[in-house]
Amino acid sequence: MRDPYAVLGIEKNATDEQVKEAYRELARKYHPDRYADNPLSDLAKEKMQEINEAYDSIMNSRRRRHGDKNYSGNYNNSSSKFADIRSYITSGRIEEAQELLDGIPMENRDAEWYFLNGTVSYRRGHIDRAYTSYATATRMDPSNPEYREAFARLQRSRNPYANPHSNPYRSGSNMGGECSGCDVCQTLICADCCCECMGGDLIRCC
């Protein structure tokens, strides 16, 4: 493998931010999506693979040197090949995390990639995209508790009444929200009974 610093076009004493900025610029330039249906598509993929490997080599080396002290956080995992993206998510740098995710070629997008893409999408308010990414991550690695919990949490937030214990209409605590189908039926039946008691018939079949 070529000198990773040479691949990114930076000096060995470059700061972490300079390394990341160089990576982002090259990722934007050589991202395979820019070369769809282009004779240079295969070359762009090879170049992007080289850029990814160079970036990973530099950052992994720096992590080992610092003992991961500068890479802690809720979404950090020192054994993850996407530890930098996790670090960005932890620090709230969502747009930069998305840029790094977009720079990963399709063939390298594993379950973790989809999990992190789901997390970034959720932070950006793209709930449907987050749902799809979490579902894909869980399908690709169903034994991973991190992915399963994130997917379940999003499912609960999208459908808060899926759990009967959380449904105010089933617990008798309707505070003026929307009526469910059962509520409507029960109301009509009660009204029909009242009408019959008064000599009328609201629902002829009952």
Give the model confidence (pLDDT) of 51-67 as tens digits. Answer: 888 888 888 788 777 65
Looking at the domain assignment, is residue 128 inside a domain? no
Do residues 86 and 173 both lie within one domain?
no
pLDDT in tens, 148-204: 999 999 988 877 555 544 443 334 434 344 444 445 455 455 555 544 544 555 445
Q: Per the structure block, which two tokens stand in for 4?
A: 């990773």
Domain total of the chain:
2
Residue where a domain terminates, one of 92, 107, 136: 92
In a domain, 60, yes or no: yes
Phi-psi region of 109 (alpha: psi -120 to 50; beta: other; left: phi over 0): beta
Helix 127-140 vs helix 145-158: crossing angle, to nearest 10: 150
User: What is the extent of the structural domain holding 74?
Assistant: 1-92
CATH number at residue 12: 1.10.287.110
pLDDT in tens, 71-127: 333 344 445 678 888 888 888 888 888 888 888 888 888 999 999 999 999 999 999
Domain stop point among 72, 92, 112: 92
State the Cα–Cα distance between residues 84 and 46, nearest whole angstrom. 22
Q: What is the 3-state secondary structure (H, E, C) of 88-150?
A: HHHCCCHHHHHHHHHCCCHHHCCHHHHHHHHHHHHHCCCHHHHHHHHHHHHHHCCCCHHHHHH
pTM of the predicted protein model: 0.50
**Cβ pair 56, 65 in contact under 8 A:** no
Q: Which amino acid is at 20?
A: K
CA 51 to chain centre: 24
Q: Give the whole-angstrom CA distance, residue 6 versus residue 14.
A: 12
**113 in a domain, yes or no?**
no
Q: How far apart are CA 117 and CA 94, in angstroms?
A: 10
Residue 79 lies in a domain: yes
Q: Secondary structure of the chain: what % helix, strand, coil (to 5)?
A: 65, 0, 35
Q: Which of 57, 76, 92 is a domain's end point?
A: 92
86 Cβ contact list (under 8 Å, min separation 6): 73, 75, 76, 77, 80, 116
